[in-house]
Structure 1
Amino acid sequence: MVLLAILVLAAHALTPAWAAEKPTYEKRDRTIFDLLDDNHDGVISMPEFKNNQMLIFYLLDRNKDMVLTRNETVLPPDLFDKIAGPKGKINTIEFMDVVDEAFKNADTNHDGSIDHNEFNALMRRVRQ
């Protein structure tokens, strides 16, 4: 569920780039994978995953106050509340904690990286 949130945020952050053309899921998934795979070695390492998730955080933080509010995300209210807690905001540390858990869930073979197959399987689960 947490990884769903991360990927929804990633897709949301990239949506303006695709406004003119309506890409297939495969094209969007490939674009997200390629953005996360900084060194283009065909796998996403934990540092790549974390570094790029912060870029997504900064893209989503429209007012640049270093916290995400409900109106800055597309998360379901219950998931947002779970991450944000009673203060109603997600800071960068909380966001990074979510990223750690998300990576562990996606790395199904526990080799320390997310390959194309793991990423594609993850995206299929996200869309169900």
Structure 2
Amino acid sequence: MAAKARGAFTLIVALAALTHSAATAAAASVENTRDARIFELLDDDQDGKVSMMEFKNNQMLVFYILDRNKDLALSADETFLPANVFATFAGMDGKIDTLEFLDIVDSAFKQADTNHDGYLDRQEFITLLNRVRNQ
């Protein structure tokens, strides 16, 4: 289940950057700015935290953006995931459909909500992004 959570956030992070830069001071600054912007986009009501509903609303946007051929399923080349990671999430058809995607993201949210308050604060979100990047 932890692998699925990492994969969901990998999909979100992949929208912001197709590649991960080497850790330099300049790259870290750009990465921090990008992470803050992703959090702001997810935080629809701008209250400084992302609710499950905000997360769910935006996760489908992420799905539809990634689904370039609009077949309502993500193929390996649409996700930016390594083949072995993609295979972990893909169903019997070799694709990630909307229900599989929702399941992955639900578990990712729950894992990231370390204080179990039903919200992701900025630190919880950044911590999970960093964990995904370091896998």
Name the residue aligned to 2:13. 11
RMSD (Å), alpha carbons: 1.6
Instruction: Output aligned runs, 1:1-128, within 5 Å.
Output: 1-15=3-17, 24-128=30-134
Higher relative contact order (CA 8 A, sep 6+): 2
Name the residue aligned to 1:19. none
Residue by residue, what CA displacement relative to the aligned partner does 1:26-59 show, whole Å, maximum 9, x if unpaired?
0111011011111110000001111101000000
Return the letter of the residue paired with 1:78.
N
**Alignment length, in residue pairs?**
123
Tell me, in whole angstroms, the C-alpha distance in 2 between the residues paired with 1:79 and 1:109: 27
Distance of aligned partners of 1:15 and 1:121 in 2 relative to their CA distance in 1, 3 Å threshold: closer
Mean Cα deviation higher: 1-10 or 61-70: 1-10
Tell me, in whole angstroms, the C-alpha distance in 2 between the residues paired with 1:35 and 1:61: 19
Query: Any unmatched runs of 5+ in structure 1?
Result: 17-21
TM-score, normalised via structure 2 length = 0.83
TM-score, normalised via structure 1 length = 0.88
Contact 2:76 2:95 in 1 (8 A): yes
Query: Any unmatched runs of 5+ in structure 2?
Result: 19-26
